[in-house]
Structure 1
Amino acid sequence: MNAFGDNFEQPPTEADPAAEFLAREQNALAGLEDEIPPVAPATAGLAGTNGSLDGDPVPKAESTGFDNDLNGSFEMINNADAHEPSTTTADYNLNTVPKQVTEEPEKIRKWREDQKARLEEKDREEERKKDELREQARKELEDWYKHHDEAISKTKAANRNAEKQFVAETDEIEPGTEWERIAKLCDFNPKTNKSSKDISRMRSIILQLKQNPIQSTKKI
């Protein structure tokens, strides 16, 4: 306090909200710069490849915390896109993979083998029976030809003997014995064959003529 009693004290200064906000943001961005790796090599490579139109290198711009934040974000997005699998390639690979053939069950496989064996045995048995039938038919045919030849030989011999006897009796023909000779050539034993015709009337007429021959009359 001075002698005059005037005490001029400085009033307390109020804190600026905008300045405090900027300070907080700068601190936050500074923390992000430490966590996110810099992208300077990619930028340098790009500048070295393209360059300016005059052939001079592109001047390097001063990097700020905000730029680093943006660059880091884009790098993370690009890396995520690069590692994203291709759906089309995966589908193509799935389509080109051949389907695995399922193995046949043991019971079905054994049944097929047994069925095949049974069919083969059945075929062999059928062939054996066919051979037996062929052999039996051949023997029966040979026997039939043998009996047929014997019957023909006997019939021929009987016909020759009958012919000789008929010729011998022809020289001794007497009048009135014609029907008797005819009756000798006929077979009067009845036959039971269904396919034969009924000749009973013819036999009865011949027998009547044999017993009562017709008297022949001579004209002068």
Structure 2
Amino acid sequence: MSNFDAFDQPDVDPAAEFLAREQNDLAGLEDEVKPAAAMSVPLVNGVSPSPPPLNREVREEPEKIKKWREEQIKRLEEKDEEEERKKLELREVARKELEDWYKNHEEAIAKTKAANRDAAKNAEKQFVAEDDEIEPGTEWERIAKLCDFNPKAKQGNKDVSRMRSIVLQLKQSPIPINNKA
């Protein structure tokens, strides 16, 4: 119970101590500032106007701060100029790369077109050359040569697996055609 004896002393209010200290510190300020109630301000339409602005002295900035501001403005202007220059350089590089890409793309298309024309001409010549060698019963073999029997269809193409299987079946066992109709 000896621990509880400390609570029997009269309580010291910390808030009261704080207020007393602040009153002592602020005691001299009452003479310098007039309370708001003491100022007589005429009412306009039953509304009191905003209090007059306090006369605060406009302090000039120290010389070092002025110098720093001027240097900062110069640095920012230089950075802006550098950024604009780099933008122009990047645009020029991008324009050149785009022109090169278009040129290479056009060349690739022209080469592909030429290769396709050559392949079509060669295929046509071969077809015409084989046309003279028609033997009865080899029609389906000739058709099968023209077809692509790769079972892997490209995406977006129609499914031709049934037609492929029919052509292969007819190639292996052709149906005799009677021309006596």
Report Cα offsets for 1:129-178 as digits up to 9, x if no partner: 11111111111111111111111111111111111111111122122211
Q: 1:192 to 1:114 in 2, by over 3 A?
A: farther
Which of 148, 173, 177 aligns to 2:138? It is 177
Q: Deviations over 1:52-100 (max 9, x none)?
A: xxxxxxxxxxxxxxxxxxxxxxxxxxxxxxxxxxxxxxxxxxxxxxxxx
SS at match of 2:98: helix
Normalising by structure 1, we get a TM-score of 0.49
- The reply to whether residue 111 of structure 1 matches residue 72 of structure 2 is yes
The aligned counterpart of 2:162 is 201
Where does the alignment leave 5 or more consecutive residues of structure 2 unmatched? 1-59
Deviation at 1:217, TM superposition (A): 2.1
Q: Trace 1:1-220 onto structure 2 (pairs within 5 A).
A: 105-191=66-152, 193-219=154-180
Moved more, 184-193 or 107-116: 184-193
- Between the aligned partners of 1:206 and 1:216, the Cα distance in structure 2 is 16
Provide closer, same or farther for how the CA distance between residues 127 and 195 of structure 1 changes in structure 2, counting only shifts above 3 A: farther
State percent identity of aligned pairs.
44
1:154–1:212 CA distance, 2 compared to 1 (3 A) = same
Shift of 1:183: 1.0
1:114 aligned partner, one-letter code: R
Instruction: Please list the CA deviations of residues 27-64 of structure 1 after superposition, one character each: whole Å capped at 9, or x if unmatched.
Output: xxxxxxxxxxxxxxxxxxxxxxxxxxxxxxxxxxxxxx
SS at match of 1:196: coil
- Opposite residue 140 of structure 2, the aligned amino acid is W
Report the 3-state secondary structure (helix = DSSP H, G, I; strand = E; otherwise coil) of the residue aligned with 1:174. Answer: coil
Distance in 2, Cα, partners of 1:216 & 1:121:
84
Letter in 1 for 2:160: I
In 2, Cα distance between the equivalents of 1:214 and 1:134? 64
Gaps of 5+ in 1: 1-101
Q: Distance in 1 between matches of 2:77 and 2:154?
A: 54
| 8 A contact 2:153–2:159 mirrored in 1 | no
Shift of 1:196: 2.8
Post-superposition shift, 1:125?
0.8
1:92-115, CA deviations, whole angstroms, 9 ceiling, x for partnerless residues?
xxxxxxxxxx89922222211111
Over aligned residues, Cα RMSD in angstroms?
2.2
